[in-house]
Amino acid sequence: MKQYKVVQTFPVPLQDLLRAREDRYKYLDRFPELKNVELLEERKEGNKVFQKRKVKLAESLPKVLATLLSDPSLLEDSVFDLSTNTHEFTIAPPGNDTIVTIKGFSVYKEIGPNESERSYDVKVSSGVFLMGSVIETVIEEIHRHSLDKDKNSISEFLKKGD
């Protein structure tokens, strides 16, 4: 199992960051880097927002993984708690979580009057015999890169002031 932490800061108040995090998916035509993300289901229960997303990986998937997956995508199940600004998620290939599973927990918080951050604690695990640690390392790199792309899309959204 691989574990890592990612901390990203934004030069905006927390409420602006939270709004951008949610609203940018309404404007996918303006964010081509999010084109591979499809919202399958969303529901709100009290202070919790439950989402299921499909992330298509065809272009970015290494050959070692592509051969193991009949569907080159990942499903993300997540719960965002609006009262604590925390996000818990599990990402895995459809019906095949033994190949690889990403479990994460992120916290959005204010660190100053016009500065906020989100921090991720992530675990990647793979049950593939002899290849598990290689797959975990590759998926960690892909996931870290996707978090960077996600940060950039939020930053762009904030600049546009929508």
Give the count of domains, the chain: 1
Q: How distant, in Å, are the alpha carbons of 27, 40, 71, 93, 145 from that of 157? A: 9, 22, 31, 29, 18
Question: Tens digits of per-residue pLDDT, 134-160?
Answer: 889 988 988 898 899 889 888 888 887
State the DSSP string of 124-149: EE---TTTHHHHHHHHHHHHHHHHHH
Cβ contact 153:34 at 8 Å? yes
The predicted pLDDT at position 95 comes to: 82
- Cα atoms found within 13 Å of the Cα of residue 160, Cβ hemisphere only: 14
Question: Structural domain of residue 142, as residue ranges?
Answer: 2-160
pLDDT tier, 6 (very low <50, low <70, confident <90, very high otherwise) = very high
Question: Tens digits of per-residue pLDDT, 105-140?
Answer: 999 999 998 999 999 999 999 998 888 898 899 889
Residue 134 CA to residue 138 CA, distance in Å, equals: 6
Q: Which two tokens stand for residue 58?
A: 């065809």
Question: Tens digits of per-residue pLDDT, 23-51?
Answer: 776 766 666 666 677 889 999 999 999 99
The CATH number of the domain holding residue 85 is 3.30.530.20
pLDDT tier, 79 (very low <50, low <70, confident <90, very high otherwise) = very high
- Which of 46, 108, 54 shows the shortest CA–CA distance to 77? 54
Residue 45: exposed, middle, or buried by beta-carbon count in 10 A (0-12, 13-18, 19+)?
exposed
Q: Which two tokens stand for residue 32?
A: 């081509």
- Which of 74, 79, 89 shows the shortest CA–CA distance to 36? 74
Share of residues in the chain with pLDDT > 70 (%): 82
Residue 40 CA to residue 145 CA, distance in Å, equals: 23
